[in-house]
Amino acid sequence: MLGYVIPICLAIIGLALALTLARLFKGPDLPDRILALDTLYINAIALLVLFGIWLGSDLYFEAALLIAVMGFVGTVAVAKYLLRGDIIE
């Protein structure tokens, strides 16, 4: 059963990534693009966890956790740069 469901889920998340990417290109303003990047990394986490289940491997969890940490730091850094024109005061 999982052999059928997982490819479907992969396709759904792929579609979600494509929609996010479209917003990233369309803009229209900088905060929109940052928000799109934020969503992109969260969807990437979902994709990695799904991939880990498909391959039956624990290793992908670590990658997902790292992306969660780095993505958050990245979003906050860029948002702060937009806010103050400076990241570390």
What is the binding site for other proteins (CB under 8 A)?
1-2, 5-6, 8-9, 12-13, 15-17, 19-20, 22-23, 29-32, 34-36, 38-39, 42-43, 45-46, 49-50, 52-53, 56, 58, 61, 64-65, 68-69, 72, 75-76, 79-80, 82-83
Is the Cα torsion angle 19, 41, 31, 29 positive or negative in sign? negative
CA dihedral angle for residue 80, residue 43, residue 59, residue 66, rounded to 10 degrees: 0
Q: Closest Cα to residue 38, out of 79, 10, 9?
A: 79
Residue 63 corresponds to which amino acid?
Answer: A
